[in-house]
Chains A and B, each alone.
Chain A
Amino acid sequence: MKHTLAVLVENKSGVLTRVAGLFSRRGFNIESLAVGVTEDPDTSRMTIVVSGDDHVLEQVMKQLNKLIDVIRVSDISNDEAVHRELALIKVGVDSSTRAEVMQIVDVFRAKIVDVGARSLVIEATGDESKINAIEQLLRQFGIKEMVRTGKIAMNRGAKIVQSEKR
């Protein structure tokens, strides 16, 4: 079972190492991790996707909470939330395939961000399954290169993940 955790941390050097080190030494698996600064410049937010049963999840959350630089850990797996990944995909094209690729990009509401004589760079955002689907479809044309971010997620509606005191 995959869980999505929103983790607020101090925005300072070494915090990512502490979090990643915790996962590896406790034998937890990170499926993906994305990190960036929040609306408060002193705070960063990590979105961590972790796989494991409820017992593993409980330990992950408790152990994360023990890190001094971790401010708040929330499991947002079961919440109504927007989940997004971003992928950049470089596809090899020629005059006969370019139109078809552009059509696929259109259907997925992705964007072409670079056009070359023999390649296109496509920017796609969406949840994991959408990114997987566009990747799958583009494979037949020859994917030269691909890079994906980890997932980021945010609750829908008024519910927010924030540190207690602001």
Chain B
Amino acid sequence: MTKAKMPGARAVIESLYKEEARVIFGYPGGQVLPLYDELYDADIRHILVRHEQAAAHAADGYARATGKVGVCLATSGPGATNLVTGIATAYMDSIPIVAITGQVPRFMIGNDAFQEANITGITLPITKHNYLVQDAKDIPRIFKEAFYIARTGRPGPVLIDIPKDTQTEIIEFDYPQEVKLRGYKPTFTGNEQQVRKAASLILNAERPIFYVGGGIIFSDATEELRQLAESIMAPVTTTLMGMGAFPSAHPLSLGMLGMHGTRSANYAIQESDLIIAIGVRFDDRVTGKISAFAPNAKVIHIDIDPAEIGKNVRVDIPIVGDAKNILKTLLKYIKQEQAKTEAWNKKIAAWKKEYPLSYKKDDLLRPQFVVEQISEVCPDAIIVTEVGQNQMWAAQFFNYRNPRTFISSGGLGTMGYGFPAAMGAKVGKPESTVIDIAGDGSFQMNSQELATVVQNDIPVIVAILNNGFLGMVRQWQELFFNRRYSQTCLSESVDFVKLAEAYGALGLRATKKSEVKDIIKEAVKSECPAILDFVVEREENVSPMVPAGAAINEILDLE
């Protein structure tokens, strides 16, 4: 069989077909002109964003909602550097995206040419791997490897930088059947011996707790987790990244742990005798003061990335591998044993009863109330968040039932993430209601994407919890800087309803509790991109809270 001859740019498109990537979020420019010319009649949906940062976040939101690899595309220089925040966001949260950038022609590289940036150098510390195409005939192999690296093992972003002259060079297209990477062989199956040891620890524990995160969601292990938790009757607490890994309303659920976690989750961790940590990385927002973290607990740590094991805390039983796979094996050894956890569950039930998440129930429109109403009106929605107070309230007061329904920048904490990520999620899951729970500050970091959602008919709903402040920073200033609100007040803010209308989206406002449900329903019914401006109590705090540097049981209720 003769191999098809084609220019490098066409080979990129053919490679994307092979990887079943049918959606690209991108923005054209000089050094990707040959690529965009091929895209003109390719069977790929290209969504033209208004800023490259949004393309990266949208690819990331698409990946989180669907489990597939998200793809974004930008030109060289500023196009590529605008992707950087989005790539770093995906890297910190282990999200599989492939970012494609144009580059100046090979003979000009290193010459400080117009719109030249060393993007492989810049993204070295924020990609799982990256490539500069030095020979057009490598394009198929590089794409094969890039998608494979992005989605396997601990997922992450991979960048491919493609000089313009390689896009026009004619090559023979030969897509490899398999990857050959001597230095990349992720461990999938957990060591059986270790799993057996873990099972014996679990069966002998009196106060076990599951501490689970994004790894459960990425490996599609929610069902195995539920079975395991129910068979030993152990409570489950999730990280921010793990919201949706275990149903919020399940009797064994303790909700989120850590800085803004529930008291019951934090107390349970501190008093436990066994932590079963799965797909988590003992982040500082979770552990608080590390030396005082879970002083009496043994730790079983299950993770796909060996480098996470033992990084922050001492681990008794490390198990490297895929969470689903390992939990399946673990379930073989743990079958509806008579759990020793009765006293433990009583204690936890008492905590849960005494310390529910709460806020002041009065006539004022409070942000927590808005989130609860969204949860009631749209129980199956995919919730995307911005970063700050809105993110914490979205985690605390929405009733999550399914994986991939909570999408948030956990590691990097990127303001401006939510709206474009919601756009990506909606493109990937058009049948789902997708709601970005936003703050007025975060939303304004990427509000230009209103043009994108209107032009491409992507009906996402942005629910702005509008308090006229950079609320989380203001909260810290209130608590730790004597209420000196340095540069956190946005009060003479934008008219978001008019802003929505200016772009051709639906804009609605609620200032009273009684109006909240109505405008949510109206937005859902409209099937249009919509901005909901909830004018909420200005100085509401996220509560409870563990002050920075304190142990996680030193948790405060805030007014």
Query: Could you tell me if A9 and B125 are in contact, using CB atoms closer than 8 angstroms?
Result: no
Q: A58-B310, A59-B311, A62-B306 are in contact. Are A67 and B124 (CB under 8 A)?
A: no
Binding-face segment, B179-187, B255-263, B281-289: B179-187
Determine the chain B residues whose CB is within 8 A of the CB of A55 once the complex forms. Answer: 310
Task: Provide the bound-state CA to CA distance between A25 and B132, in Å.
Answer: 22
56-97 of chain A: CB within 8 A of chain B: 58-59, 62-63, 65-72
Contact of B307 among A9, A17, A59 (CB under 8 A): A59
Task: Provide the bound-state CA to CA distance between A25 and B91, in Å.
Answer: 15
Determine the chain A residues whose CB is within 8 A of the CB of B182 once the complex forms. Answer: 10, 71, 163-165
Contact of B124 among A13, A17, A62 (CB under 8 A): A17
Determine the chain A residues whose CB is within 8 A of the CB of B120 once the complex forms. Answer: 14
Cβ of A18 under 8 Å from chain B: yes
Contact of B183 among A14, A25, A62, A69 (CB under 8 A): A69
Determine the chain B residues whose CB is within 8 A of the CB of A67 once the complex forms. Answer: 183
Determine the chain B residues whose CB is within 8 A of the CB of A63 once the complex forms. Answer: 307
Query: Could you tell me if A18 and B124 are in contact, using CB atoms closer than 8 angstroms?
Result: yes
Query: Could you tell me if B306 and A65 are in contact, using CB atoms closer than 8 angstroms?
Result: yes
Chain B's closest residue to A70 (CB) is B183
Query: Could you tell me if A9 and B183 are in contact, using CB atoms closer than 8 angstroms?
Result: yes
Chain B's closest residue to A12 (CB) is B134
Contact of A68 among B132, B149, B305, B307 (CB under 8 A): B149
Determine the chain A residues whose CB is within 8 A of the CB of B307 once the complex forms. Answer: 59, 62-63, 65-66
Cβ of A21 under 8 Å from chain B: yes
Q: Residues of A within 8 Å of B, CB-based: how many?
A: 24
Determine the chain A residues whose CB is within 8 A of the CB of B306 once the complex forms. Answer: 62, 65
Query: Could you tell me if A10 and B183 are in contact, using CB atoms closer than 8 angstroms?
Result: yes
Query: Could you tell me if A68 and B310 are in contact, using CB atoms closer than 8 angstroms?
Result: no
Determine the chain A residues whose CB is within 8 A of the CB of B134 once the complex forms. Answer: 13
13-32 of chain A: CB within 8 A of chain B: 13-14, 17-18, 21, 25
Query: Could you tell me if B125 and A68 are in contact, using CB atoms closer than 8 angstroms?
Result: no
Determine the chain A residues whose CB is within 8 A of the CB of B128 once the complex forms. Answer: 68
In the assembled complex, how far is the CB of residue A152 from the closest CB belonging to chain B, in whole angstroms? 21
Task: Provide the bound-state CA to CA distance between A25 and B88, in Å.
Answer: 14
Task: Provide the bound-state CA to CA distance between A130 and B72, in Å.
Answer: 55
Query: Could you tell me if A68 and B121 are in contact, using CB atoms closer than 8 angstroms?
Result: no
Interface size class of B (residues with CB under 8 A): 10 to 19
Query: Could you tell me if B183 and A68 are in contact, using CB atoms closer than 8 angstroms?
Result: yes
Query: Could you tell me if B311 and A68 are in contact, using CB atoms closer than 8 angstroms?
Result: no
Q: A9-B183, A59-B307, A163-B182 are in contact. Are A68 and B124 (CB under 8 A)?
A: no
Determine the chain A residues whose CB is within 8 A of the CB of B509 once the complex forms. Answer: none
Cβ of B22 under 8 Å from chain A: no
Task: Provide the bound-state CA to CA distance between A13 and B184, in Å.
Answer: 18
In the assembled complex, how far is the CB of residue A11 from the closest CB belonging to chain B, in whole angstroms? 11
Chain B's closest residue to A10 (CB) is B183
Task: Provide the bound-state CA to CA distance between A12 and B129, in Å.
Answer: 14
Query: Could you tell me if A71 and B124 are in contact, using CB atoms closer than 8 angstroms?
Result: no
Determine the chain A residues whose CB is within 8 A of the CB of B129 once the complex forms. Answer: 68
Determine the chain A residues whose CB is within 8 A of the CB of B305 once the complex forms. Answer: 66
In the assembled complex, how far is the CB of residue B498 from the closest CB belonging to chain A, in whole angstroms? 45
Chain A's closest residue to B184 (CB) is A68
In the assembled complex, how far is the CB of residue B426 from the closest CB belonging to chain A, in whole angstroms? 32
In the assembled complex, how far is the CB of residue B430 from the closest CB belonging to chain A, in whole angstroms? 34
Chain B's closest residue to A62 (CB) is B307
Determine the chain B residues whose CB is within 8 A of the CB of A68 once the complex forms. Answer: 128-129, 149, 181, 183-184
Determine the chain B residues whose CB is within 8 A of the CB of A9 once the complex forms. Answer: 183
Task: Provide the bound-state CA to CA distance between A130 and B243, in Å.
Answer: 59
Determine the chain B residues whose CB is within 8 A of the CB of A72 once the complex forms. Answer: 183
Contact of A71 among B121, B183, B310 (CB under 8 A): B183
Chain A's closest residue to B183 (CB) is A71
Determine the chain A residues whose CB is within 8 A of the CB of B125 once the complex forms. Answer: 21, 25
Q: A68-B183, A70-B183, A71-B182 are in contact. Are A21 and B124 (CB under 8 A)?
A: yes
Determine the chain A residues whose CB is within 8 A of the CB of B121 once the complex forms. Answer: 17
Task: Provide the bound-state CA to CA distance between A17 and B124, in Å.
Answer: 9
Task: Provide the bound-state CA to CA distance between A25 and B182, in Å.
Answer: 25
- Interface residues as binary, B97-132 with A (CB distance below 8 Å gives 1, 0 otherwise): 000000000000000000000001100110011001
Task: Provide the bound-state CA to CA distance between A68 and B305, in Å.
Answer: 13
Task: Provide the bound-state CA to CA distance between A67 and B183, in Å.
Answer: 7
Task: Provide the bound-state CA to CA distance between A18 and B128, in Å.
Answer: 11
In the assembled complex, how far is the CB of residue A45 from the closest CB belonging to chain B, in whole angstroms? 13
- Interface residues as binary, B151-185 with A (CB distance below 8 Å gives 1, 0 otherwise): 00000000000000000000000000000011110
Determine the chain A residues whose CB is within 8 A of the CB of B310 once the complex forms. Answer: 55, 58
In the assembled complex, how far is the CB of residue B206 from the closest CB belonging to chain A, in whole angstroms? 30
Residues of A within 8 A of B (CB): 9-10, 13-14, 17-18, 21, 25, 55, 58-59, 62-63, 65-72, 163-165
Residues of B within 8 A of A (CB): 120-121, 124-125, 128-129, 132, 134, 149, 181-184, 305-307, 310-311
Can you list 15 A-B contacts with CB-CB less than 8 angstroms, sorted by A residue number? A10-B182, A10-B183, A14-B120, A21-B124, A25-B125, A58-B310, A59-B307, A62-B307, A67-B183, A68-B128, A68-B129, A68-B181, A68-B183, A71-B183, A72-B183
List 12 additional A-B contacts (Cβ < 8 Å) besides A62-B307, A66-B305.
A10-B182, A10-B183, A17-B121, A21-B124, A58-B310, A62-B306, A63-B307, A68-B128, A71-B182, A72-B183, A163-B182, A165-B182
